[in-house]
């Protein structure tokens, strides 16, 4: 398991770009909202900790994880520097889990190709509710925190490359 020995909430603020100049969109699935709202809260707290202004964090709710793609598209069409899509899909007794996970994954990938706005994938795809809870503020930390860090890094990368299409000594480090 990729997160078994990793705390998703750990980051080194001193080695990250500031979130201050950027506007962030967060699209949250209402399905499994006891999980997704915890992820959203972790993302917002992290963006604020990294310097984002509260007025530069725009949130929108959608009914389920499948609708995250359309919500993400709408955010990309507005003025935001990065979008975080947050969902939680828990395996059930039917193939529905597989179709939803595959559709959302491909949809978010497509948004990243279609738009010049990075879309960060924060969709938990767990076998059971406990695994989701462990990644939404439980024993593995909060994947919303990890998504917020990625959003800041990608907004900074996009801004740096948008100013000059060549890499320079000032290119932001993603480490």
Please confirm, yes or no, whether 96 is among the known catalytic residues. Answer: yes
CA torsion 58-69-47-152 (nearest 10°) is -120
Q: Check if the beta carbon of residue 124 is closer than 8 Å to that of residue 143.
A: yes
Q: Could you tell me if 16 and 152 are in contact, meaning their C-beta atoms sit under 8 angstroms apart?
A: yes
Q: Which of 34, 96, 106, 140 is catalytic?
A: 96
Q: Which residues are catalytic?
A: 96
């Amino acid at each position: 398991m990729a997160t078994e020995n990793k705390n998703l909430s750990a980051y080194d603020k001193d080695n990250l770009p500031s979130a201050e100049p950027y506007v962030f969109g967060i699209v949250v699935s209402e399905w499994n909202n006891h999980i997704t709202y915890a992820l959203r809260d972790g993302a917002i707290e992290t963006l604020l900790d990294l310097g984002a202004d509260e007025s530069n964090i725009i949130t929108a709710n959608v009914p389920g994880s499948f609708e995250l793609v359309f919500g993400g598209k709408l955010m990309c069409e507005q003025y935001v520097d990065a979008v975080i899509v947050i969902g939680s899909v828990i395996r059930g007794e039917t193939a529905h889990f597989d179709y939803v996970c595959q559709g959302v994954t491909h949809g978010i990938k497509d948004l990243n190709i279609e738009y010049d706005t990075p879309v960060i994938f924060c969709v938990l795809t767990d076998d059971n509710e406990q695994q989701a809870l462990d990644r939404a503020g439980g024993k593995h930390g909060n994947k919303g925190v990890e998504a917020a860090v990625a959003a800041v890094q990608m907004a900074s990368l996009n801004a740096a490359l948008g100013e000059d299409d060549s890499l320079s000594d000032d290119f932001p480090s993603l480490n």
